[in-house]
Structure formats: structure tokens, C-alpha cells
A and B are shown apart, each in its own frame.
Chain A
Amino acid sequence: MGRRVRERIEVEVGGGKPAGFIWHDQDYTVADVLDWSREAGQWWYGGPQIDIYKVIDNWGRVFELHRLSVSLSPLANVEHADYPYWILDTVED
């Protein structure tokens, strides 16, 4: 089971994958990416695409990080200032 966090975070990227992140002023180093998947999101509402990374840090804690990028909607504004950004979605127990 995991604890839903859903907080926006800063992520350091290396080789196209998350290498570390900061959450509540604390650094977490990604030891390995356990799984990756991608979702197109609710494009009909202008919803963003989501890359889902399940990562493990040096202490063996497992997190689910979401990278949100510009929507595939034909009406999407590709210049949208916010995208891409990261969310810490879940911390696994």
C-alpha cells in the first residue's frame, strides 16, 4: 500500500530518467528506476500527458513520481508555461 502525497517537487534528471529529487527540503537520490509507463491523460479536457516512474532511493524507499507534460489535445497551448513539471504522487509503505 502507498500513501498518496500529490505534491509538486523539483526533480533532477539524468539520462532521461529521474536521478534525484527534493521533497520538503530533503534530498532523495534515486538508486534505480523500477518501472516506467506513460499515459496520454484526458486529452479531451486538455489534460497533460503523464510519465509514471516507480523509483527506489538509496534507503530502499519506493516512490511514484509523475512527470506532467503538455496535453495532446488539439486545442492545447504548447507554449503553456508550466509544463513539464513533476509531482510526487505516492510514497510506498
Chain B
Amino acid sequence: MAIHLHVHSAFSFLDGTAYPDSIIEQASELGYTAIALTDHDNVCGAVRFVQAAKEAGVKPILGVELTTNCGHLTTLAMNAIGYENICHLLTIAYLHTDRRNPVVSKEALQEYSDGLIILSGCQRGEIPTLLWQGYYQQAKAAACWYQRIFSDRFFIEIQRGGLAYESSLNRRLSNLADDLKIPLVATNNVHYLQREDFPTHDILGCIRNLWKVDEWHPFRAVNAEQYLLNPQSFQNRFSNYTQALLNTDSIAAMCDDAVLPLKPELPKPVVCVGSAREYLRKLVFEGAKKRYGNISDIVQSRLNHELEIIGRVGSEPYFLMVWDIVQEAKRQGIRTSGRGSVVDSAVGHCLGISDIDPIKYNLRFERFMSVERSQLPDIDIDFPREKRDRLVAWLQDRHGIDHVGGVCTFSTFRARSALREAGKALGFPEGEISLLAKRLRGANADDIQNQIARQPQAHHQKTPAKEYTMLFKMCARIAGLPRHISTHLGGVVVTANPLFRYSPLMPTAKGVVRIVHFDKDDVESIALKTDLLSLPILGAVDNPSHPGLYDEIPDDDPETYAMIRAGEAIGAFELQSPAQRALHVKLQSASKKDIIDSIALIRPGPGMGGMVENYIRRKLGLEDVTYLHPSLEESLKNTYGIVIFQEQVLEVAINAANFTPGEADLLRKMISRVRSKSAMQQIRGKVIQKALDNGLSQEAAEHVFKVVSSFVGYGFAEGHARAFGEIAYRSSYMLTHYPAHYLAGLLNNQPMGFYSPNTLMSQARARGITILPLDINHSNYFSASTDETIRIGFRQVKGMTEEMGRSIHARAPFQDLIDFCRKCRPRINTLYTLIAAGAFDSIHPHRRALLWQAEEAMKLARQPDGRRLLDAASDAPNLPEFYETELLGLEYGALGLNANCHLISMMRSRLDALGLMTTNDLTWMPGGQRVRVGGLTLCPHTPPTKSGKQVLFFCLEDEFGLIDVTCFENVYRDSGYLAFSEPLVIVEGMLQKRNLGRTILADKVKKIPRIVSLEEACASLPEPRTHSIYR
């Protein structure tokens, strides 16, 4: 039987429509016993291709379609050496040519030729191209080269895809093969599974090459023949080339089954004394002494239990490697924080990976590792953003650059990207599509029509069926397909052998770590992943004015809790969202436990399950505490009988349905990954049966399943909530007692958190802090703080590089614009932005005049008498300064904030004329009154609700502060949607008050006009003069 040896999957990125597992499924259904995967210049699909093939009993042949300096080349791995050589060749190409368009040289191909089978390639291959151009002798010479290097592992590839020139080309290829006694091989250059998939492939090609569908191009596919032919059609198509068909089978037979072992490789311990097992044990018990003082029986037994499981899985070298990273971070003074399930490990706690004591809080180790779950552990650690890359670089030095790789991620088409890109290819006006895409939030590309109907901010834009149906259909077809490869936020793998044995390594745009071709799921088959994540708050709390403060924060500070329960925690880590602030007002929070529980409560799982209201009522004693099953009292009593942590879900499964801890964790994983209704039904049957067997009633058993299934995919592990809760408390303490330093820290670590820099600075002003504007002579790169002031830094300026910002500070003071231009040589756009931001106000308080002079000043700065020339010219224009509102608009456009006052304060007289109230007025008003308030809209969102109805939440901000606004579904659909598109609105509705919390229950949202933008302001300037004196 013929075998397909030239097959592209969706990982050919915009040149294939099927994922590798679908290819295997189809090949298996068609009766193929083997099939190859040959994506363009990558092996991104290799792991899932091999896994699916093993399950289906199909022999996987790994390969790649290389781009060489002479053309495309189909390359197959005969064995593990061949696969390794493919990875080597690609690594060299990625590192030494263009990382977006890697090119393999023929010299490299010669050097890494072992274990490779070469097919001459498609019509863009070297030999077909030469033959097509009529250069027979050159084609022959090229074929001889391949024959000399690869001997009987070189084949001339012929394809029959119904193209006009093909018969002629195939005759020439056949003649050449006869001439040199090179065997022919037949391929169909598969790019999709079925003919009907052609439009999908075609539109992807148009997206890739920026073509419109109406445009023709020599490289654009003209027909739908490159699909996975069934064996009969394959045979019929090559009926004149029977030997070429037979050769496909011979090639498949030449290839080994297991070229990719799919066995995770552990790092080599670099600091190990004795065996890894002994050394880890020693470190753990040394750490335990520091953590606990005397090691009690409970601690001893827990550590032994954990070490036993770690040993059974054989992951000691992994723990040692992570310990080594944490030690280095401490040595460099980099703050770290363990997150996720590692917090459940006492070994992790003793090694310093996490500061939370899992024994004290009774956290289950099985949530992190278990014998039942064959999967190896995965440790997540947070670092400050600015320092994370430094640590990764150290890790590369420590283990060797070829042993450390970043994990990749695949950007896939979702609604917005699909609309924008498919819309462009189909010829839709870009503005129209862009607006629709912008308004559509959180939608999948195959659900656009439903979401437009559901999201009023989108359905208010017309999408006539005649024009849009094709676009929506094509979006649905490309939904979820990978568009390009990018870098995972934190995933890093370290292996004892060089990584290029398993994957090519490619540089990233940032260039810190080279990434492997596998994403977070696939990479688990070759190595253990560690997530070294950026958590900006860890940078924000390290203020140079108060080093070490964060580590000395006292527990249970009453003023901190008072601030939190007053709903004023804007800027505090994890506690600042409107939902969190409202929750703490209702809960009257007064302990760390309240903070930790709230972090787990404000999640989609508990939210959808309606658990938040129950929790509040039970905590306040307004509702009896009851339990799903008597055996759950112990594990749920601390949360008033409400399941809020993932561990508690496991407890429910263990106690109410008699699962073992490992089985319960498997159940959690299964439910979170289930994608079909029938699979969920199977799990449901199992859970309910086990609960019934455990003596529960049918109703209680159903309830157990409901709790487990509605919650499990979206909840936090308790350990994770505790780790975040600790940071949340400490950041709240800093906000309460050191607001200037803390808020400056937030500013210096943007983007982060829930609120914009402008809102943070408004909050600072409300706390009595003076915000000092950006000043060319006084600002530093970072915003600086004293106890009472924050000076805006150059980092805040849009488009400012760190190098430029630091250089300005180093070269200050400046006498005037010319002096600045002469010393700093800024780019013109940077200069415009600095002027717009008011950075020169202290030396020249007329921004319009400076903007007018900027370009000339740049030119004159290069001349020795430039200042005199500019002075002579400066009286020429008699420009009026911008209005104050315009100045604020310019500053906001350049910095994303206003230092001295709020934009709304400039509109106050207009808003007063409209009879609008301020947020300050609402402070003294009693609840239940009708109000009309104007302000900026912040953070509009529609979280999932228990009823399934859409409720819109957003904040309205004016010069006095924030007020939370709620719009129920009818108001959201009628006018509330404006919060998504209008920066300034008027909200009418009912004021609601509870304790110190305030909300407007809106019944109408209206537009108010906007303020001038930087572009509009610049457009109003006259052209710079080109007077002869300037020459």
C-alpha cells in the first residue's frame, strides 16, 4: 500500500488545516499503516503526532519540509539520529538566519546527513525549479549532489495535483531519475484532510501572504487536490508511476518506529553531593530545622511521605534544580514566591520554594503529586518582572545553553484575530472589521454570530447577512488553528542531554532564552517544565527608599483591615477589583483568612455556583452552616460548609464519593479537560454511582457531582490562594501605611493590576500625596517617591526606551530645548511626546511654541550657533498656548495619566451645567436616592453569573474618586454597552449603600463628548517655518 510521505499539519502555520491527531485519525480510518508529518521548518506537531499514532496503531514517520538556500526539501527521519539531525539543522537555521524564515544551507545538510531520507520536494524544490526553467544539466548536477551525500536515501519526488504544467514536469523528473538511476517516489503534498477544506487552506494562504482572495499569485494553490487521498485514489492518480508508489512503502519500512522517545528527561544535578536522593533528603531536613525548629513526628512523617513519593517518581534532580534556582535568586536579592500546587508540598516549603507551611494549614500533598497520577510534578515560581530574565540567563549559564529552553505557545485564531485577518483577505474595509473585532469580547471564532447577538456593544454595529455570512463561516473554519509560534510566559525546561536531541531551539524576539518547538502540554513528554513567572507586584513592593520593609510587615494590622473593608483597596494585589472590594465591604473583613477565602471566592467556579452569597450569609450568621455529607464537616468547617478551594473539591470526592486522593485528583484533571457532553456523562455516572455506594441519597449524589463539576475547572488551590493572600495582605499594608512608595512602585511596574496609572494617581491624590509632574531636569527613569510625593519618571512616557530615559537623567540639567537636543539627541517623536507630557514646562512654559520649534531645534542642535539661531527665530510665530483642557489631553496622551489634576475637573463646569453629581456628593447621600453622575468608564466586564443572565459591572471615575456601577441585563442591552466604547459617560440610577460600600444600580447610560487628542492638537499646529535664517 502507498504511504503519504509529504504531509503538512496546521503546524505549518497558515499552510495546513488539520491538527496532527486529526491526520492520524483520518489516516487510520482510510486504512493506512504509516504516515509522515513534514511541516514547514518545524517539528511543533511531533509529540502529539507520535502520541496519536501510537494510540491508533499507525506508524509515525517524523520529518520536515526544510527551506534550503536552493528551495524546499522533504526530509524524513529514519531513526533517532536522523530526528536529532533535523533538530540540529533547524537550530542552526533559526540561530544563524532569519528566525521567522530559517534557511538551511546545503553545507549544513551535508554535515548532518546521517539518518535522513531526502525527497526532492514540491515544485518549489531545487530540482523541480531547475527542470521547469529548462536547466536540465544544473538539475542533474543538483541531483548528483544529493545522490552523493545521501546515496540510496535520496528519491526524486513526483506529485500529481491536477496542475496545468504538471505532466510536463513529471516527464522531466522521470527522465532525470532514469538518467541517474535514482528511484522515484509519489507524494500528494497534503495540506488538508478533504477537498472541502480547500477554502480554509486558501484563506490561510491569503492571510500568510497578505493577499486578497481576488488576487492571483504564482504560489497560490489553484485547486483542491492536496488532500489526504484514500489508498485507491492515491493508486489511481499515480497509475503511470507504480514503482513510485511502491517506493513510498519501502521508505516507510526504512524508518524506525520510535525516533522520539516521549520520555521526560530530568536535569543533571549540578550541586549534588552523593546521590540526588540523599542530597535532597539532607537539604529538606536542614530546611525543616530552619522552618520548624524541632522536627515533630508529624513533620517527620509528612516529609518522609513526600520524599517517598518524589523518590518513586524519580524527580529528585528536578527538585534540586528548582532549589538551586531559588538559592540563586536569594543570593541575587531577587524576591520569589511559590505559587500553584507546589505550595501543598512540605518538601517545597523546607527547600524555600514556598513560604506557606502546608502542614500548618493541612494542605494535601496529593494535589501536587500522587502515585496514582503518573504525571511528574510541575513547579511554578513567581519573580519580579524586571529580574526574571536575569535568572533565566543565569540558569542557561549554570546548565549550559543547549540544556535550557523556553516553552513555546501557539497563538491560535480567536474571534478578534479571525475577523481581522479573514476579513482583510476577503476584502472587507479594515476600519469596519476592526471596530467589530474591538467590540467583541472573549469570543471564539466559531461563535461570532451568537456572540454578536449576545453582546450589545457588538450587535449595534450592522453586519448584514449578505456580506458577512461568508466571513463568519470562514472565521469558524479557522477557529483554533495555530497562527504563529510565540514564547510561553514562564515555562522553562532543563535537561541533562542537549535539548536539540528532542527539539530545535529557536531565538525569541526578546532573545533571552531559546524556545523549544513544544508547548506546555507537549513539552511534558520530553522534560519537566518549571514555570518561572513574572509577577510585577513582587517588583512593586521592593521600594529602594524602604528596603526590606515588605519582609517586616506585622501580621493582623487593624488599619490595613479597616482600609480593605472600607472598599478602598484600589491598587492592592488581588483585592482591588470591584467584586473584591464589594465582597470585603459585605464580609467586614478583619483577618488574613478573609483575604485568602475572598481570593478563592471571586473566581468563575464559585461565582457560577452561587457560592459567594451563601458564604457571606453564613459568615455573618444569617444562614445555618450545613454540610453536603457529615464526613465533610472537618474539611469544610473553616469555610462555613462552602466549597471554595480545589482541595475541598477533592475532599468532597474522597469523603462523599469514596475516591482515593489520587483518583480524586485524576477526576479533577479529567473534568477540567473534558470537551464533550458524552465524556462528561460518563464521569457523572461514575461519581454518582460511587456516592450512592457510599450511602448517599440520589439527590445528595447528584449534588456532589454538581459541586465537583461546576467548580473544579475554575477554582484556586488553597495553597495558591494562601500564597497570593499573603502578598495581598502585605501589599494592602503598604498601601495603607506607605501609599506614596507603594503607588510609585505600581507605576514603575506597569502594565499590571486592574486600574490605569491615571486612576492610581487619582487615588494617590485622594490620599493626600502630591504628584510632581514629569520634569526634564528632575525626573529619573523610574517614578520616585518620598513619604508625601511621587515624581513621575520617564518610564511613564509612551515610546520611551530605558536607555533614553536613563540617559536624560544622566545628562540633566538642561538649559533649554536646544541644550536638551544637543546632549540627548532624541528622536523627533520622543521629543514631541516629552513636550506634550509637559516635561519642559519648568524651563519653557509654552508647549505649543515648543512643539512648533521641536523639529528645527533638532536640526539646529547640530550647529555651534544653534541657540542664537533659534532665539532669533522664536519670536516669529505668535502662537496662542493650548487651552488647559487641551494640555491635560496632551499630557494624558503622552503619559497615560495627569499629574496635577483629573481630566474631569476641567469639565466640571460643563457637568455642573448638566446637573450632574460628583462621586464625592454620593458619600454623604443616603442610599436609595436617584443619582446622575458623569465620569470616565473603567474596566467594564460581564462575569459569569449563577442565573446565566448578563450583568455589566464597571467603575465611573471623576476627580474625587470611583463609584462602582451595575447594569442588569435590560439596561446593559439598552444603553449600558456604551461603557465598552465611550470613555466618558453619564450614569443615571439608584444609589445603593451597604456599610461603607457604594454602588449605582444604573437604569440609563449616556454619552458625553470627548476631549482633544494629541494627534488632533498637533494637527492644529501651523507648519514649522523654513525661514532663511535657519539655513
In the complex, whether B138 has a CB less than 8 A from a CB of chain A is no
Q: How far is the CA of A73 from the CA of B469 in the complex (A)?
A: 11
Q: What distance in Å separates the Cβ of B994 from its nearest Cβ neighbour in chain A?
A: 52
Residues of B within 8 A of A38 (CB): 162, 222-225
In the complex, whether A23 has a CB less than 8 A from a CB of chain B is no
Q: How far is the CA of A37 from the CA of B225 in the complex (A)?
A: 10
Q: How far is the CA of A20 from the CA of B732 in the complex (A)?
A: 87
Residues of A within 8 A of B166 (CB): 37
Q: How far is the CA of A86 from the CA of B951 in the complex (A)?
A: 58
Q: How far is the CA of A49 from the CA of B470 in the complex (A)?
A: 18
In the complex, whether B163 has a CB less than 8 A from a CB of chain A is yes
Q: Provide 12 A-B residue pairs closer than 8 Å at the C-beta atoms, listed in order of the A residue.
A: A37-B163, A37-B164, A38-B225, A39-B222, A39-B223, A40-B198, A40-B221, A44-B199, A51-B162, A72-B224, A74-B473, A74-B477
Q: What distance in Å separates the Cβ of B130 from its nearest Cβ neighbour in chain A?
A: 22
In the complex, whether A36 has a CB less than 8 A from a CB of chain B is yes
In the complex, whether B195 has a CB less than 8 A from a CB of chain A is yes
The reply to whether B164 and A72 form a contact with Cβ atoms under 8 Å apart is no
Residues of A within 8 A of B470 (CB): 44, 73-75
Residues of A within 8 A of B624 (CB): none
Residue of A nearest to B200 (CB): A74
Q: Mark out the residues of chain A between 36 and 86 whose CB falls within 8 Å of any chain B CB in the assembled complex.
A: 36-40, 42-44, 49, 51-52, 72-75
The reply to whether B199 and A73 form a contact with Cβ atoms under 8 Å apart is yes
Residues of A within 8 A of B221 (CB): 40
In the complex, whether B329 has a CB less than 8 A from a CB of chain A is no
In the complex, whether B213 has a CB less than 8 A from a CB of chain A is yes
The reply to whether A49 and B426 form a contact with Cβ atoms under 8 Å apart is no
In the complex, whether A25 has a CB less than 8 A from a CB of chain B is no
Contact with A along B468-481 (1 / 0, CB 8 A): 01100110010000
In the complex, whether A35 has a CB less than 8 A from a CB of chain B is yes
Pairs A-B, 5 closest by C-beta atoms = A38-B162, A37-B164, A74-B473, A38-B223, A44-B213
Known A-B contacts A35-B167, A74-B477, A75-B469; the reply to A40 vs B196 at CB < 8 A is no
Q: What distance in Å separates the Cβ of B493 from its nearest Cβ neighbour in chain A?
A: 40
Residues of B within 8 A of A73 (CB): 199, 470
Q: What distance in Å separates the Cβ of B205 from its nearest Cβ neighbour in chain A?
A: 12
The reply to whether B162 and A75 form a contact with Cβ atoms under 8 Å apart is no
For chain A, the bracket of interface size reads 10 to 19
Q: How far is the CA of A18 from the CA of B473 in the complex (A)?
A: 35
The reply to whether A40 and B469 form a contact with Cβ atoms under 8 Å apart is no
The reply to whether B222 and A40 form a contact with Cβ atoms under 8 Å apart is yes
Q: How far is the CA of A49 from the CA of B199 in the complex (A)?
A: 12
Residue of B nearest to A71 (CB): B199
Other A-B contacts than A39-B223, A44-B213, A72-B196, 20 sampled, CB-CB below 8 A, are: A37-B163, A37-B164, A37-B223, A38-B222, A38-B224, A40-B198, A40-B222, A40-B224, A42-B213, A43-B198, A43-B199, A44-B470, A72-B195, A72-B198, A72-B224, A73-B199, A74-B199, A74-B473, A75-B469, A75-B470
Q: What distance in Å separates the Cβ of A72 from its nearest Cβ neighbour in chain B?
A: 5
Q: What distance in Å separates the Cβ of B229 from its nearest Cβ neighbour in chain A?
A: 14
Residues of B within 8 A of A72 (CB): 195-196, 198-199, 224
Q: What distance in Å separates the Cβ of B224 from its nearest Cβ neighbour in chain A?
A: 5
The reply to whether B426 and A44 form a contact with Cβ atoms under 8 Å apart is yes
The reply to whether B223 and A49 form a contact with Cβ atoms under 8 Å apart is yes
Residue of B nearest to A34 (CB): B167
Residue of B nearest to A54 (CB): B164
The reply to whether A43 and B202 form a contact with Cβ atoms under 8 Å apart is yes
Residues of B within 8 A of A43 (CB): 198-199, 202
Residues of A within 8 A of B167 (CB): 35
The reply to whether A75 and B473 form a contact with Cβ atoms under 8 Å apart is yes
The reply to whether A52 and B164 form a contact with Cβ atoms under 8 Å apart is yes
Q: Mark out the residues of chain B between 157 and 207 whose CB falls within 8 Å of any chain A CB in the assembled complex.
A: 162-164, 166-167, 195-196, 198-199, 202
Residues of B within 8 A of A37 (CB): 162-164, 166, 223
Residues of A within 8 A of B163 (CB): 37
Q: What distance in Å separates the Cβ of A46 from its nearest Cβ neighbour in chain B?
A: 9
Q: How far is the CA of A72 from the CA of B223 in the complex (A)?
A: 10
Q: How far is the CA of A51 from the CA of B223 in the complex (A)?
A: 10
Residues of A within 8 A of B164 (CB): 35, 37, 52
Residues of A within 8 A of B477 (CB): 74
Residues of A within 8 A of B162 (CB): 36-38, 51
Residues of A within 8 A of B199 (CB): 40, 43-44, 72-74
The reply to whether A40 and B473 form a contact with Cβ atoms under 8 Å apart is no
Q: Mark out the residues of chain B between 394 and 440 whose CB falls within 8 Å of any chain A CB in the assembled complex.
A: 426
Known A-B contacts A38-B162, A40-B198, A43-B198; the reply to A74 vs B223 at CB < 8 A is no
Q: How far is the CA of A88 from the CA of B705 in the complex (A)?
A: 67
Residue of B nearest to A16 (CB): B236
Residue of A nearest to B427 (CB): A44
Residues of B within 8 A of A40 (CB): 198-199, 202, 221-224
